[in-house]
Amino acid sequence: MGWFKIPTIFTSYNHTHLPYYNPARQNLVNKSETQKDGAPNKVFRFLRRLMSGGKIDGGSRTEAEEKLYAWLYALAQSDKDLVFEYVRSTERGLSFAEAERRLKENGPNVPIDYSFPSWWHILWNAFFHPFNIILIVLSVISYFTSDSPNGCIMLVLVFISVSLRFYQEYGSSKAAMKLSEFVRCPVKVQRCAGRVYQTELVVQIDQRDVVPGDIVIFEPGDLFPGDVRLLSSKHLVVSQSSLTGESWTTEKTADIREDQSTPLLDLKNICFMGTNVVSGGGAGLVVSTGSKTYMSTMFSNIGKKKPPNDFEDGVRRISYVLVAVMLVVVTVIVVIDYTTSHNLTESILFGISVASALTPQMLPLIVNTSLAKGALAMARDRCIIKSLSAIRDMGSMDILCIDKTGTLTMNRAIMVNHLDSRGLSKEKVLQFAFLNSYFKTDQKYPLDDAILAHVYTNGYRFQPSKWQKIDEIPFDFIRRRVSIIMEREAEDKSRHVFDRVMVTKGALEEVMKVCSSIEDVDSGTNITFTSEHYQRILNMVEEISNEGLRVLGVAIKSLDTETSYQRKDDDETFESDMVFLGLITFFDPPKDSAKQALWRLAEKGVKAKVLTGDSLSLAIRVCKEVGIRTTHVVTGPELELLNQESFHETVKRATVLARLTPTQKLRVVQSLQTVGNHIVGFLGDGVNDSLALDAANVGISVDSAASVAKDFADIILLEKDLNVLIAGVEHGRLTFGNTMKYIKMSVIANLGSVLSILIATVCLKYEPLTPRQLLTQNFLYSVGQIAIPWDKMEEDAVKVPQKWSQKGLPMFILWNGPVCTIFDVSALLFLWFYYKAHGVVDSMFFHSAWFIEGLLMQTLIIHLIRTEKIPFIQDLASWPVLCSTVLISAIGIAIPFTPIGDVMGFVELPLSYFGFLLVLFIGYLFVGQVVKRLYIMVYKRWL
């Protein structure tokens, strides 16, 4: 709807759109296109884009993304000297004047340039719905016809519908503002000053003031203020979890030239906006800021429309059909009535009453009441519903995309095994790994807790009290290991000799790097650590990693009693000539409830697909544990190599998709929606999940998720448990089913009633019901429908996803609508021939009889429509619906016998007429059930 003004990257080849244009950069951006695309390809691409009608295609990148990729890859493949030329900067940095000029030209450095919609714009979109317009017009007419109660009810329904929609859309439009919170921080930049002699200065500015060409200086804890090409780096380790969702860090270095085969987020010399420095430091050249960064391009689809909602589109189409039918039928009725009564005012009022009878007045109230009831039920199941329509979509959902960590797994490590260099279980490895974790004080990690828990729960007695800690070399992200120096009294106590050792534990490669010996398995002696040993351990670890396990290495070193660790700068020297003992393996176990929950979802027709940024081997291990098939798996880099058709086919078959970037998660969701025609739910909790959450039909997050993820989610789980979603699916299908009951029942009843009135108007010389009687009948019938949201659904109806069928409703009406009209006409013929009520003198009798028959017919239709079984015999409605039916029927029958009936022009009816009605309705239920069985035989479904 154009709420978010999100600029694309390099929107034109014209230099007037490039904030820091130069020919070198322009050639970089256009190089790949000039090489690969000739004029015919461009024409075909244009025609294909034109024929697609702007439809979302999950298998292809946008033009802005293609240009961004070309720009960053060109920078990653270029020398540092050439990079300065591309962004028109110098090794000294920008001058203050040039930086100010570029800031004015480019605007503030924020990831998304958004323009907040005015409240009246949102209100107008919420208000402009065909049924709302119809109800308002009819309510005004009701006031003119002195039917104030009916008019007031219509306005209340409009107010409820508009208020709920306005509230939801006004809240969701603010979500994109949260993105700027991730990059608001002070930044150190290098600027040059002076007219004659330029001096380099390091100044601190706000992130919003950073411009392309700035040289930024960063250290641990800093956020990158834009996309940066590294100029220098020292032991630089970066966390890209905000973009990838992976908890692991990645090393970056300036002294490298990348090639085209490296995945974008794996480029070693490029750092991205929104990522942060874990350890190390360096300097980099800002090459893209604001809306031209990778982060902004990634989020450029946020705030745009989701795929069309079949339910809302279906309701809109039905409303247009009813309006068209209303205009035709009402016009015919007014003309016919005028030819007999010659009273134009009375004929118009009667036509308006018929129009009111044709409108499903309770649709907004029934829909919103059903959704609100579902929201309350889900709140009891520890779910917070932000968008009420998501409950209905939950009932239609047939694919659930889920992240692995914390959803399928416990998001905590457990220790699996302790192995020596040959892969055999050895207690000594566990003993020294335990002592390392036990005496470690600098900072405890979950893996340390896992080791301690494994030792305590399995009854090992390593007696740490006999050891004394001497010193500690703490963990850092450069060495990626921690060493503990400790000692104990030797076995020869008479000599008071002490054993002093250093135990090192950490990343396997880093531990093996400082080892010169290895403990021989057979003799127990130390032998030289050869390249054969090194390769054998790597091969073993590769097999272990393929099973989804994490690995830590353990090594020891005997020290002299006098040896101590004093200086922090001799870590590499002190940690050397060690003896490699073995390795410890860990696993993030699946939740006990995950397998059962996925099985129950599959039973209900909801297939699960795992979309994760973690490694493929780890994802496969977890999926096998919880029962997800792993015969078709794929990774993000593999998806990048596929063409559009192959992409869609691969996404359709794959059940596990690993190492996905945020944009790849988005494309997978869009592919399932558009090409696969699925209703997709997505469960995620990170910033990297925001794209997919926004695009999915049902976005689901958890209470502990990032604020942006929660803003874009439709449903918030207070517990990270898939079993909660099963209850949501059931509530969604119940809500969808009851809503469809009302829509089908009301359309059939209203159309049948109006057609009956048309036939009666043609046959009689007077109106079959006066405007006041018709509106009263319609009011009572509408009030009786309020209980529908509290009805129950059959078990078979909630076992499969419920979707709106575009052809289903018209065919349903064609099959079942005539049945209602046939029995209305039967009542007309009975009154005509048995009671001779076809003259003007008998009009009051006819009005009374027709009023009761029409009201009871419309009230009983719900019981025929609501179930596949025989109503009142094989299946009973819920007690609220039964009570509503009895109450409205009793009121309708009683009115002609009360003073109110006298005022409305009714007369008392003979008992024989009620006997006829009993036979009539039994016949209606019998014929209706026969038509129902035939319909089910043909279309294999009912509601």
Catalytic residues, by residue number, are 403
Question: Helix, strand or coil for residue 681?
Answer: strand
Please say whether the beta carbons of 429 and 584 come within 8 A.
yes
| Dihedral (CA of 334, 338, 343, 346) sign | negative
Tokens of 532: 């054969």
Pick the closest to residue 214 from 228, 235, 199 (CA basis).
228
- Rounded CA-CA distance 601/611 in Å is 17
SS3 189: strand
Which residues, in sequence order, are CB contacts of 870 under 8 Å at separation 6+? 929
Bridge partners of 217, per DSSP, are 188, 283
- The SS3 of residue 358 is helix
In whole angstroms, what is the distance from residue 743 CA to residue 829 CA?
29
C-alpha 670/C-alpha 52 separation (Å) is 15
End-to-end CA distance of the chain: 33
Distance (Å, whole) CA 748 – CA 716: 38
**Closest of 704, 73, 649, 756 to residue 358, by C-alpha:** 756
The residue type of 140 is V
Copy the structure tokens of residue 673.
């929606």
State residue 267 phi and psi, 5-degree precision. Answer: -60, 125
Residue that the structure tokens 């950490």 belong to:
506
Residue by residue, DSSP assigns 578-603 as EEEEEEEEEE-PBPHHHHHHHHHHHH
Total residues found in the chain within this entry: 943
User: Are the beta carbons of 400 and 609 closer than 8 angstroms?
Assistant: yes
Which amino acid makes up residue 155? L
| Residue 934 in tokens | 């035939």
**Which phi and psi (to 5°) does residue 520 adopt?**
-70, 130
Parallel/antiparallel/unpaired status of strands 250-252 and 270-271: unpaired
Q: Give dist(CA 432, CA 713) in Å, integer.
A: 46
For residues 407 and 412, what is the distance between their CA atoms, to the nearest angstrom? 12
Q: Which amino acid is at 712?
A: F
The C-alpha R_g of the chain, in whole angstroms, comes to 37
Q: What are phi and psi of 902, to 5 degrees?
A: -65, -40
3-state secondary structure of 465: helix
Phi, psi of 4 (to 5 degrees): -105, 125
Per the structure block, which two tokens stand in for 758? 């048309």
| One-character DSSP codes across 225-284 | SSEEEEEEEEEEEEE-HHHH---S-EEE-SS----TTS-GGG-TTEE-TT-EEEEEEEEE
Dig out the tokens for 31 from the structure.
């190089």
Asked if 20 and 285 count as a contact pair (C-beta separation under 8 A), the reply is: no
Opening angle at CA 868, ends 866 and 871, nearest 5: 65
**Which residue matches tokens 């700027």?**
180
Rounded Cα distance, 806 and 655, in Å: 29
